[in-house]
């Protein structure tokens, strides 16, 4: 994953719990990086070690950490760094989610070594849709849930998210039913 992901985890921790807590998490993780360069690719293992260390240090489930990070990613990181890109995704939650399958094509112009997930949309109605999530990375479905929740907050649209299928139960991808 790119360093911007790891940097965002650091920013989330420091903004909410302080520099000292970040130092404890970094030490707990066993990672020897003093700082992360946003545009540099890092091994996925570093990101997972950071998430696990946050979970252990903050006495939170890993799922809750990933959800919180997904929300932070949308509300803080992407909005502050890529506001124009986010605005180009749509003017409502529904429109943004419908455009999500094309979103990473634009992101890859910024990060050419990106291995993005793939999204597809089905069962679109006035108040809901099914969001299909395909990724070579496992264990990030709760991060995606956090992203969706963050998008709901960004668009000031209360959402309900139901996991309809998951690779954890043998399916080939996740499907989230997003209602608003």
Residue 44 sits in the same domain as residue 121: no
**95, 175: one domain:** yes
Q: Is the four-CA dihedral 107, 94, 135, 56 of positive or negative sign?
A: positive
The CA angle 125-129-130, to the nearest 5 degrees, is 145
The CATH number covering residue 108 comes to 3.90.1520.10
Long-range CB contacts for residues 110-117, cutoff 8 Å, separation at least 24: 110/82, 110/85, 111/2, 111/39, 113/2, 113/41, 114/2, 117/144
> Does 65 fall in a domain?
no
Give the end-to-end CA distance of the chain in Å, rounded to a whole number. Answer: 31
Q: How far is it, in rounded angstroms, from Cα 131 to Cα 152? A: 14
Binning pLDDT at 50, 70 and 90, where does residue 143 land? very high
**What torsion do the CA atoms of 136, 158, 153, 144 make, to the nearest 10 degrees?**
-10
Q: How many domains does the chain have?
A: 2
pLDDT of residue 108: 64
Residue 130 pLDDT greater than 90, yes or no: yes
- pLDDT tens per residue across span 81-96: 777 778 888 999 999 9
Query: Which segment of 64-73, 113-122, 125-134 scores lowest on mean pLDDT?
Result: 113-122
Q: Are 14 and 22 in contact (CB under 8 A)?
A: yes
Residue 74 domain-assigned (yes or no): no
The parent domain of residue 159 ranges over: 90-179
């Amino acid at each position: 994953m790119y360093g911007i992901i790891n940097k965002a985890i650091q920013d989330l921790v420091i903004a909410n719990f302080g520099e000292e807590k970040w130092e404890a998490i970094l030490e707990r993780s066993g990672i020897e990086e003093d700082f992360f360069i946003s545009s540099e690719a890092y091994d996925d293992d570093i990101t997972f070690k950071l998430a696990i260390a946050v979970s252990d240090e903050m006495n939170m489930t890993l799922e809750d950490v990933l959800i919180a990070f997904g929300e932070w990613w949308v509300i803080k990181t992407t909005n502050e760094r890529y506001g124009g890109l986010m605005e180009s995704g749509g003017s409502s939650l529904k429109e943004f989610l419908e455009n999500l399958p094309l979103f990473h094509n634009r992101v890859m112009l910024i990060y050419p070594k990106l291995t993005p997930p793939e999204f597809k949309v089905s069962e679109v109605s006035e108040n809901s849709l099914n969001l299909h999530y395909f990724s070579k990375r496992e264990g990030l479905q709760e991060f995606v849930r956090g992203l969706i929740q963050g998008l709901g907050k960004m668009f000031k649209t209360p959402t309900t998210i139901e996991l309809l299928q998951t690779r954890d139960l043998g399916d080939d991808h996740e499907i989230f039913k997003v209602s608003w």
